[in-house]
Chains A and B, each alone.
Chain A
């Protein structure tokens, strides 16, 4: 079974600084998708960024970028110029191709942004 591990239960960053959230996963597949979702206190799940495994180029969405290391099975999220609104739980997820494309989630990292 595929597993997703987020080793940092909590992280803190000062406003305008950069923070990196870690994620590792285990799979025997060669083609798959990886995601980062944000869950603010409202509990809504918001897609932050998506990476397709066959693409070597790291995905970027404005202030959010990933460092995808396929051989190491690592998928970290970098948030640049952190803002107070970035404070949330962040979940790394792996899309399971043989389970109806459901998502397998890590346990999450709680990000605190300080002024």
Chain B
């Protein structure tokens, strides 16, 4: 079955450390997105990519970086510049007809 796979499910970061969250999709979708969810908040857009080798900042991109070297993959790096990284991170994708977004199961990132 096609879908979006996020890994790991849980991740812990030490102070000053960069960590990378994985997002892989086998839906052949062109566009991919990263959202952050904090308690009591909706999802907020971090980065998005509409095609390979191109990506755009969302509303809260500071302290994060991404790459899109393959259509199937859109990893998110949480850098040490992100001072409050504890959150639930969701990856999503959408097909060329721009229909409804499909979401992965998320990664919970915590600070050690």
Contact = CB atoms under 8 A, between A and B. Distances in A.
Contact of B42 (A43, A44, A99, A107): A107
Given A99-B45, A102-B48, A107-B40, A47 B56 contact: no
Interface string B58-78: 100000000000000000000
15 contacts: A4-B42, A9-B40, A43-B105, A44-B103, A45-B43, A95-B98, A99-B45, A99-B48, A99-B56, A101-B31, A103-B45, A103-B92, A105-B35, A106-B42, A108-B42
Contacts, number: 57
A45 B56 contact: no
B43 A105 contact: yes
Given A43-B106, A103-B35, A107-B40, 11 more contacts: A44-B106, A45-B43, A50-B99, A99-B45, A100-B49, A101-B98, A102-B33, A103-B33, A103-B45, A106-B42, A107-B41
Interface in B47-101: 48-50, 56, 58, 88, 90, 92, 94, 98-101
B100 A50 contact: yes
Interface residues of B, number: 25
Interface string B18-30: 0000000000000
Contacts of A99: 45, 48, 56, 58
A75 interface: no
Nearest to A44: B105
B50 A100 contact: yes
Contacts of A9: 40
Interface of A: 4, 9, 35, 42-45, 47, 50, 91, 93, 95, 99-108
Interface of B: 31, 33, 35, 40-45, 48-50, 56, 58, 88, 90, 92, 94, 98-101, 103, 105-106
Nearest to B100: A47
